[in-house]
């Protein structure tokens, strides 16, 4: 099969065989990792009480936001900055050291922010002080050790050691799921133990990645000033976008935490897990569709673009219709505690469907290099204006209203994507 493909494409067999193996490893490995995460998430939804799942949801959202603010894109820049110097251990080590130099300093700032803001965010709900402290310790430990994953996975990606990456994540993900099950069977499972299992997973993956990366990295005692400056200059233009994305990614949980009750937090958190059903389609946008659109000639590009967009619109519409007619098919996944969320389920799937469409449009636009300087100004300022207006004029104390808030936001983002596409097609050469 691979040999036939190589002959048809007039490419060397060894090259086609290597890329086929890489793609197969990626699809199988990433699929397995996502599946384990989804199953573990659904275990927690079903096994934690409504209040405990609300506590876990807030901690998880807070942790994800803090994670982005600590990383600030430095670890993601390593692959691009190393470029074709992939076999120079000292170069890779210097970039890792430079990135960790900035990360350590951001960790102190963000860590202090967590110590202040997390108790403030949860105070309204009158959760036990011990629970707040234990959740906060889990957040900080996860935040600290996640640096091992973000920096020492880069050499493995550079050298395309996907098998090592995914084998470690799958193995430790299964162990985490088993640990959660042991907590549940022994009637010990609660919010902070669920968060602790996540921290232990992060530590296990990070230590394993660092051990596997040793053969590809030679770290200096301290990064050179030139490398630190190069890395900072590379990241600086996208810093505003990173800060914005850090908070927007968890905006629904934060809004309901501030304005809603504990039960509503759990409802939003549980429903959001159903949105993971779109994971594969979201991944396909970057892995399959973007490269396909990037290599297309201008002639026929519009029809292909519209066909792909129409496919995603059709899929999103079908999912919403099925959820409207047969809501129990979806609500069964998250358990009987949430069976009353039929209308909220439809709103949730509309929200995530719009997000999926926005994502694939972004991937297609970016693949054509339709990235304009005015985009952040229009997008970020517009979203902030709309969200402030929603906060002022909409009662955001219930799950349904927060989901409507998210739909309005995603509709505006869709308008900006359409605008970029229109400009792109007019100027594409």
Q: Encode pLDDT of 241-299 as tens digits.
A: 788 888 887 888 888 888 888 888 888 888 888 877 777 677 766 656 777 787 778 88
Q: Is the pLDDT of residue 41 over 80?
A: yes
Q: Which residue has the tokens 């699809």?
A: 27
pLDDT digits (tens, 9 = 90+) for 348-370: 999 999 988 998 888 888 777 78
Identify whether the C-beta of residue 81 lies closer than 8 Å to the C-beta of residue 154: no
Region of 189 on the Ramachandran plot (φ > 0 left; ψ -120 to 50 alpha; else beta): beta
Q: Is the pLDDT of residue 125 over 70?
A: yes
Q: What is the dihedral of CA 155, 63, 405, 44, to 10 degrees?
A: 100
pLDDT value of position 280: 67
Q: Which residue has the higher pLDDT, 407 or 371?
A: 407
pLDDT value of position 21: 73
pLDDT value of position 217: 85
Q: What is the mean pLDDT of the chain?
A: 85
pLDDT value of position 138: 94
> 78: buried, middle or exposed (CB in 10 Å: 19+, 13-18, 0-12)?
buried
Whole-angstrom Cα distance, residue 141 to residue 124? 24
Rg (CA), the chain: 22
- Mean pLDDT confidence for 126-147: 92
Q: Is the pLDDT of residue 168 over 70?
A: yes
Q: Is the pLDDT of residue 10 over 70?
A: no
Q: Is the pLDDT of residue 408 over 90?
A: yes
Helix extents (H) in 48-128: 50-71, 74-82, 89-123
Q: Is the pLDDT of residue 133 over 50?
A: yes
pLDDT value of position 7: 47
- What proportion of the chain, given as a percentage, has pLDDT over 90? 32
């Amino acid at each position: 099969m691979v040999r036939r493909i190589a002959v048809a494409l007039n490419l060397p067999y060894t090259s086609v065989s290597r890329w086929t193996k890489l793609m197969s490893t990626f699809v199988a490995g990433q699929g397995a990792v996502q599946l384990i995460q989804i199953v573990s998430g659904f275990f927690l939804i079903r096994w934690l009480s409504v209040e405990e799942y609300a506590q876990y949801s807030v901690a998880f959202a807070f942790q994800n936001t803090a994670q982005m603010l600590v990383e600030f894109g430095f670890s993601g820049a390593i692959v691009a900055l190393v470029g074709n110097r992939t076999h120079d251990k000292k170069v890779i080590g210097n970039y890792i050291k430079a990135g960790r130099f900035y990360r350590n300093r951001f960790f102190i700032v963000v860590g202090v922010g967590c110590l202040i803001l997390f108790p403030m965010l949860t105070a309204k709900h009158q959760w036990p002080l011990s629970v707040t402290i234990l959740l906060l310790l889990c957040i900080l430990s996860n935040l600290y050790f996640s640096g091992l994953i973000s920096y020492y996975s880069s050499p493995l990606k550079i050298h395309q050691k996907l098998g090592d990456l995914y084998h470690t994540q799958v193995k430790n993900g299964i162990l985490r799921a088993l640990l959660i099950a042991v907590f549940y069977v022994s009637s010990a499972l609660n919010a902070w133990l669920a968060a602790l299992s996540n921290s232990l997973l992060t530590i296990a993956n990070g230590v394993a990645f660092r051990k596997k990366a040793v053969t590809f990295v030679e770290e200096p005692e301290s990064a050179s000033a030139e490398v630190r400056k190069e890395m900072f200059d590379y990241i600086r233009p996208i810093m505003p976008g990173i800060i914005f994305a850090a908070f927007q990614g968890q905006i629904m949980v934060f809004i309901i935490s501030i304005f809603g009750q504990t039960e509503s937090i759990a409802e939003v958190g549980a429903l959001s897990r159903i949105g993971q059903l779109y994971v594969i389609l979201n991944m396909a946008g970057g892995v399959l569709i973007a490269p396909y659109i990037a290599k297309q000639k201008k002639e026929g590009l519009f029809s292909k673009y519209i066909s792909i967009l129409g496919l995603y619109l059709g899929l999103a519409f079908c999912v919403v219709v099925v959820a409207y007619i047969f809501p129990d098919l979806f609500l069964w996944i998250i358990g009987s505690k949430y069976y009353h969320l039929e209308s909220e389920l439809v709103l949730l799937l509309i929200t995530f469907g719009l997000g999926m469409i926005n994502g694939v449009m972004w991937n297609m636009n970016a693949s054509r290099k339709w990235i304009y300087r005015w985009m952040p100004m229009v997008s970020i300022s517009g979203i902030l204006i709309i969200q402030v207006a929603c906060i002022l004029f909409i009662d955001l104390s219930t799950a349904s209203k927060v989901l409507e808030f998210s739909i309005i936001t995603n509709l505006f983002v869709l308008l900006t994507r359409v605008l970029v596409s229109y400009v792109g097609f007019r100027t594409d050469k």
